[in-house]
Amino acid sequence: MTRLHRLLPFLQWPRPSAALLRSEAIAGLTVGLMVIPQGVAYAALAGMPLVTGIYAAMLPALVAVLFGSSQRLSVGPTALTCLLITASLSGLAEPGSAQWVALAVWLAILSGLLQVVLGLARFGWLLNLVNAPVLMAFTQAAAVLIIASQLEGLLGWTGSPATGPWWLAVHAPSLAFGLGSLALLWAVRRWRPAFPSVLLIMLGAAGLSQWLGFAESGGRVVGDLPSGLPMPYLPDWPGWPVLGQLAVPVLVISLVSFLETAASAKIDSARQGRPWDQNQDLIGQGLAKVASGLSGAFPTSSSFGRSALNLYAGAQTGWATVFSVGVVAAVLLWLLPVLSHVPQAVLAAIVVAAVGGLLKPMAFRRLWAISRVEASTAAATFAITLLTAPQIYWGVLAGMLMALSHFLYQRLHPRIIEVGLHSDGRLRDRHLWQLPPMAPHTYALRMDAALDFGSAMALERAITDHLATHPETRRVVLLAQPINRIDATGVEVFSRLRSQLAAQQRQWWLVGIKLPVEQVLRAAGELEPSPWLRVLATEDDLRAALSEAMAATEAADAQARG
């Protein structure tokens, strides 16, 4: 693959045939008909003008598929990213105001530029800072908050009544539209996932709303949306203090939105039998966010649901997204007036139906069975996200901090065991399985970690503590197969142990040392021939050497007695 093809992945697209274009057109139409109503609903969730949700489904989707490595992802507005926008801007501006729009655009531009820089610098590995339990808990907490935020629109709540019971404040027609739409969306999803139910329900609700005079009876509707393609938008400079307040939200949006992308991209790459290029997708997703901001919209991401629908509908290449963008453009040019009569309760139902699948309480139970520490981290992330609302990004940051703290604790406390020969022929934990020592006066241990600044002191402490309580020990055997890396601190500790054992006239045996570690130790001069140092290649060599040493010891003892 040439450098040009890596920078411009769309050059690798297959030349379209008539059959390919037909299948891509069907997939593009299917996704396009879903993203339009979702875009309007998600724009409301983000506190943005409703038409910007459709803007976010057009140019960003095209840019992402042209410059990203994953051709079959559906990029545009997503519920989680839109909730993060609302959380980030709460207190800085009034939702829907010109200042709110400008700040949302800055979120899109800054988070996009951050992703582009990370992709160009090949820093995609930084995304591993958010582990699966933290993301799962944060997503579920966000889903709870999203559903709670939509209840007012779903029920047609008009505020607490001055007199009488609370249900007098519920607008009955809005409640009927909301719950009816929600029931239809769930039913059709179970019956036929690829059916464009969202758009058809929205259009049906619009017609019924106009026929019944829903708006005239006090119901809230979408209203008039400006027709036409998005125009270039350049936001005003907000000032350094405001940009400073956006720094943490930009970081969280960049991380979380790309983790949404990763969930779909990994599945797509696995189905195509090729490795996932996360750095190129970072570039593509970042450029899509920048394009969204310059269109007057908000940060975008890859939708797992729409991407799955794209695959289900038969998408094979990026041409499906091109057709989807064409559908969105046609709606912007000619069909927006049809949406003006859609009840806002229907938009709330669309959001609730979309995020309802994110609620998976049994995931916490399964995580508890796997790791109680990670389950506790997930539970804390879930609680902090709810308690810090609307600044929910503190939940994912707290989860990251707890997960990293646990990771560092494990690195600083590696698993170090004394091994013995099990009846199945393997060397296993001597104390767990109640096994005898490998040989008399022998301490054989294994450390399941790299020998670096985090674990080296633990290894030294384990050996010195054993020698202090077992002064009769003549040899220390380190099974080094799990040690795949060593740094300067590890070399220093290795040298100190070697000198200490030699001074005490104890032997220091290394078994199964890996080449990268051996090369570093030889370069440091720590594997020079010595009567107190022995390097063995395999566990079989160790057993043979121990048998030989035991035989020699028995012979020497017999000679001394004779």
What's the pLDDT at 161?
A: 59
On the 0-12 / 13-18 / 19+ scale of CB atoms within 10 A, 132 is middle
Q: Is the peptide bond before 249 cis (omega within 30 degrees of 0)?
A: no
Indicate whether 290 and 431 sit together in one domain: no
Let me know if residue 513 belongs to a domain: yes
The encoded tokens of residue 447 equal: 């450390």
Let me know if residue 546 belongs to a domain: yes
The whole-angstrom separation of Cα 226 and Cα 515 is 66
Let me know if residue 386 belongs to a domain: no
- Give the residue from 331, 357, 383 where a domain finishes: 357
On the 0-12 / 13-18 / 19+ scale of CB atoms within 10 A, 369 is exposed
Residue 536: C-alpha distances to residues 235, 405, 428 (Å): 67, 36, 19
Let me know if residue 15 belongs to a domain: no
What's the pLDDT at 402?
A: 97
Indicate whether 115 and 191 sit together in one domain: yes
| Averaged pLDDT in 10-residue chunks for the chain of 562 residues | 68 82 91 92 96 97 94 93 95 95 98 96 86 92 92 77 62 91 89 78 93 90 93 94 95 92 84 86 96 97 90 88 96 92 93 89 95 97 94 92 95 96 93 94 96 96 97 96 96 97 96 96 95 95 93 78 66
Residue in the block written with tokens 């601190």? 489
Indicate whether 425 and 300 sit together in one domain: no
Half-sphere exposure of residue 501: CA atoms within 13 angstroms, side-chain side: 28
The whole-angstrom separation of Cα 314 and Cα 179 is 32
Round to the nearest angstrom and report the end-to-end CA distance of the chain.
Answer: 77
Query: Which residues sit opposite 81 in a β-bridge?
Result: none
Indicate whether 60 and 155 sit together in one domain: yes
104 neighbors 48 (Cβ within 8 angstroms): yes
Q: Are strands 416-421 and 442-447 parallel, antiparallel or unpaired?
A: antiparallel
Domain carrying residue 283: 30-159+173-226+241-357
- Give the residue from 357, 375, 402 where a domain finishes: 357
24 neighbors 317 (Cβ within 8 angstroms): yes
Let me know if residue 17 belongs to a domain: no
Residue type present at position 393: Y
Helix orientation angle between 456-469 and 488-503, rounded to the nearest 10 degrees: 20
Residue 511: C-alpha distances to residues 60, 466, 476, 487, 540 (Å): 55, 19, 11, 19, 10
Q: Which residues of 482-496 are buried (b: 16+ CB within 10 A; e: fewer)?
A: ebeebeeebbebbee
39 neighbors 352 (Cβ within 8 angstroms): no
On the 0-12 / 13-18 / 19+ scale of CB atoms within 10 A, 405 is exposed
Half-sphere exposure of residue 521: CA atoms within 13 angstroms, side-chain side: 26
**DSSP secondary structure letter of residue 334:** I
Longest CA span, the chain: 116
- Give the residue from 357, 386, 407 where a domain finishes: 357
What's the pLDDT at 189?
A: 81
Indicate whether 148 and 268 sit together in one domain: yes
Let me know if residue 369 belongs to a domain: no
Indicate whether 353 and 422 sit together in one domain: no
Indicate whether 421 and 305 sit together in one domain: no
What's the pLDDT at 440?
A: 92
What's the pLDDT at 266?
A: 84
User: DSSP of 235-275, one letter per residue?
Assistant: PPP--HHHHHHHHHHHHHHHHHHHHHHHHHHHHHHHHHTS-
CA 431 vs. chain centroid, Å, equals: 39
Helix orientation angle between 372-387 and 362-370, rounded to the nearest 10 degrees: 140
Let me know if residue 14 belongs to a domain: no
Indicate whether 351 and 433 sit together in one domain: no
Long-range contacts of range 470-473, CB-CB < 8 Å, 24 or more positions apart? 470/443, 472/441, 473/441, 473/442, 473/443, 473/506
Q: Which region, left, alpha or beta, applies to residue 506 given φ > 0 means left and ψ of -120 to 50 means alpha?
A: beta
Indicate whether 335 and 260 sit together in one domain: yes
Indicate whether 352 and 422 sit together in one domain: no
Indicate whether 353 and 420 sit together in one domain: no
**DSSP secondary structure letter of residue 76:** E
User: 192 φ, ψ to 5°?
Assistant: -150, 95
108 neighbors 293 (Cβ within 8 angstroms): yes
What's the pLDDT at 184?
A: 93
| Count of domains observed in the chain | 2
299 neighbors 81 (Cβ within 8 angstroms): yes
353 neighbors 37 (Cβ within 8 angstroms): no
The whole-angstrom separation of Cα 453 and Cα 486 is 9
Indicate whether 199 and 277 sit together in one domain: yes
Half-sphere exposure of residue 201: CA atoms within 13 angstroms, side-chain side: 28
Q: Are strands 75-76 and 475-479 parallel, antiparallel or unpaired?
A: unpaired
The whole-angstrom separation of Cα 316 and Cα 272 is 9
What's the pLDDT at 40?
A: 95
The encoded tokens of residue 338 equal: 């049809």
515 neighbors 548 (Cβ within 8 angstroms): no
The whole-angstrom separation of Cα 524 and Cα 15 is 56
Segment holding 196, helix H or strand E: none
Let me know if residue 380 belongs to a domain: no
Of 77, 11, 54, whose CA–CA distance to 280 is shortest?
A: 11
